[in-house]
Amino acid sequence: MICKRIEYTDFRNIVNESIDFSPETTILYGKNAQGKTNMLEGVYIFAQGKSHRAGKDSELIRFGAERAKLSLRYESGGRENTLSLVIEDGKRKTTYKNGIKLDRLSEMIGNFRAVLFSPEHLAIVKAGPSERRAFLDVAISQLRPVYMRTLQRYNMILFQRNSLLKSMKYGASPSLTASLEAWSEQLSEYAARVAVVRAEYAEKLSGMTSELYSDMTGSRESVSISYHGTSRIGGDYGDEARVRSIYRRQLTENTDREILLGSTQYGVHKDDVDIMLNGREAKFFASQGQQRSIVLTLKLAEGEYSRRETGEYPVFLLDDILSELDPARRSYIISGIKDRQVIITSCDTSVKRRIRGGLSYYVKAGVPTAAKEQ
């Protein structure tokens, strides 16, 4: 997977600019708040389908403009393609592949694959379950677009079921009870589909992350990852029918409590990922440095998993991450991203000396200016 060129129009603080990327390393450097992260964000949107930073799409449109547009040229499997994205306030994003309009945003996911490192990703370890679920969902969706559609269907059913639970708080008729049973049946079906895929991904990622983390720390420490469901399945997600029956039981045996609370208390929207460091929960026992090391190896493992599944590495995006690392971790990351495409943002101009080869751009007020070849 190679990102070749991106064009921005009225995106964030960028008026009308383009960047050609090196198949090796491209560095975007300059002072804070000049648009480096915005440029990286524009690339990652094509992998995730949405911004990893903005709460609303309208935040992506440059102040005073009516719409924002992004166009990406990339190579995958030896073939060159283009993806385009138009963002208008109050409207759904419009997407195109090779000039042909796509019916749904989900059809774009999986075409272009990327792994993002950013300081905010420490939340995967130290924040709540939603951060860890999101990490799995984004990574899996790039490899299996059908998974995103399954997750979307689950969330739609969950919304309907929650609406019904809230209305039943003030009285439950036989028809409402029957409707709740029907929604519970559907929710358990899609919950099982999501949980089985998440658990399989987490299990395989655990082995890769453990190996990388042991290598980074000189075998002094160990990390493991496992999917943890509210249904207390006990780690056995191999039998989808069994998983579905457990979710169904949870959803039917606890309806009185759910009606009282007005929301669904069981399902994959409540599940978590256990990240263990030396046999203890990393969220509580890992130092800041250990948390950073865990996230770095998780991201490297995500990229390696993608390569094994698709036959090619995704594009690696490093958002001002090297400046936060000590020399040992910085050296490990630099050595770990060789032989793959990397796009880096940094306020530290010395990063150009540490990473040789490729292209670099000085970014100021949303304008990238090409520097001489490194």
| Number of C-beta neighbours around residue 245 at 10 A | 14
Q: Please check whether residue 320 lies inside any domain of the structure.
A: yes
Q: Please check whether residue 11 lies inside any domain of the structure.
A: yes
Bridge partners, 314 (sequence order): none
Give CA 43 to chain center in angstroms.
13
The DSSP result for 52-101, as a single string, is SS-SSGGGGBPTT-SEEEEEEEEEETTEEEEEEEEEETTS--EEEETTEE
Q: Please check whether residue 289 lies inside any domain of the structure.
A: no
Q: Please check whether residue 102 lies inside any domain of the structure.
A: yes
pLDDT in tens, 184-214: 999 999 999 999 999 999 999 999 999 999 9
Q: Please check whether residue 188 lies inside any domain of the structure.
A: no
Residue type, 297: T
Decide if 26 contacts 343 (C-beta within 8 A): yes
Q: How confident is the model at residue 105 (pLDDT cuts 50, 70, 90)?
A: confident
**The total number of structural domains that make up the chain:** 1
Query: From CA 268, how far away is CA 198, in angstroms rounded?
Result: 9
Does residue 354 carry a pLDDT above 90?
no
Query: From CA 254, how far away is CA 357, in angstroms rounded?
Result: 60
Give the residue among 295, 287, 274 at the shortest CA–CA distance from 120: 295
Q: Please check whether residue 157 lies inside any domain of the structure.
A: no
Domain enclosing residue 5, as ranges: 1-113+314-374
pLDDT in tens, 109-131: 999 999 998 888 899 999 999 99
Q: Please check whether residue 199 lies inside any domain of the structure.
A: no
**Sequence-separated (6 or more) residues with CB below 8 Å from residue 127:** none
Find the CATH number of the domain harbouring 330: 3.40.50.300
Does residue 230 carry a pLDDT above 70?
no
Cα dihedral 295→318→118→371 (10° resolution): 160
- Of the chain, the percentage scoring pLDDT greater than 70 comes to 96
Q: Please check whether residue 135 lies inside any domain of the structure.
A: no
Q: Compute the mean pLDDT over every residue in the chain, rounded to the nearest whole number.
A: 90
